[in-house]
Amino acid sequence: MSPLFSALAPAKVNLFLHVGPVDADGYHPLASLVAFADVGDGLTVAPAPGLSLDVSGPFASGLEDGQGDNLVRRALTALGRAAEISDPPLAVRLDKRLPIAAGLGGGSSDAGAALKLARDALGLALDDDALARIAAEIGADGPMCLHARTVWAEGRGDILTFEPRLPPLHAVLVNPGVPSPTGAVYRAYDAGPPAAADRPAPPADWSVPAVTDWLALQRNDLQTPAVGLSPAIDQALSAVAATPGVALARMSGSGATVFGLCLDQAAARDAARRIGADHPQWWVVPCVLNPANG
């Protein structure tokens, strides 16, 4: 029986996202502090005669099937080119637990986890930096999702500085069940007044209350254009902000997922219970952001 290699592809959360005007090459400079959660999609890889991808889970219907243009398949094809393997001989199973087009980096995180698992399953002599270069072929957030560590992201999201001081943050993630396509949100952003990709000075105190207060001074520049396209995001923001125990509510990435920061695990679980009861049609989960520092 072939050995199985499994991993979590964690949800990516932009704790803040400052975005500048589009440049001459059509890209937006940004500054963000990115953390990864202890919830996400599940990946399993096993040696096989050829490359196959099976997608299951509650959000599987939102993806192309294993023969389609899925980021996992694209990443493994790129790995094959780098390793001079025409098609990595692997059977891959993706348990899609995160909503699609949700501002959680799901596809890029899936690709990053798949690259690491494929390396281990095939015994390839490639370190994480080499895999990150392959992940960059898939998308701008590919390298940060490959590393899946708290990081400052600048430039086009390709200038990364790891941040070891962020404490674990208890949170609730809420998605109101509407997609928020990144391209449409950026076009709406471009139609409004430009902001700036400024990186703020880090907090002087890295305790949870101080970090939460510091984050409250930052912003997500894509939140207003995303809300304009999908009013359900504003409903989610209002619901999360009004929930007892939530200290800060903000949209992640280009949406539509909203996160609510809480001061402890009990508050996060209670917030998830309350929001889930009031909005049973929404996707609501408690989580820990940056759990590795716990």
Nearest-angstrom CA–CA distance, 33 and 166: 10
Question: 151 — phi, psi (to 5°)?
Answer: -150, 145
CB 255 within 8 A of CB 103: yes
Contact 287, 206 (CB under 8 A): no
Q: How far apart are CA 294 and CA 288, in angstroms?
A: 9
**Token pair listed for 136:** 């960059």
What residues act catalytically?
A: 12, 141
Contacts of residue 287, defined as CB under 8 A and 6 or more positions apart, other chains included, come to: 11, 37, 38, 39, 170, 171, 172, 173, 268
Rounded CA gap, 63 and 96, in Å?
9
Q: Are 9 and 43 in contact (CB under 8 A)?
A: yes
Is the CB of residue 97 less than 8 Å from the CB of residue 59? yes
For the record, the structure tokens of 259 come out as 């996160």
Q: Are 78 and 69 in contact (CB under 8 A)?
A: no
* Two structure tokens written together for 201: 């000075």
Q: Which of 262, 154, 254, 174 is nearest to 215 (CA)?
A: 262
**Which of 253, 204, 203 shows the shortest CA–CA distance to 37?**
253
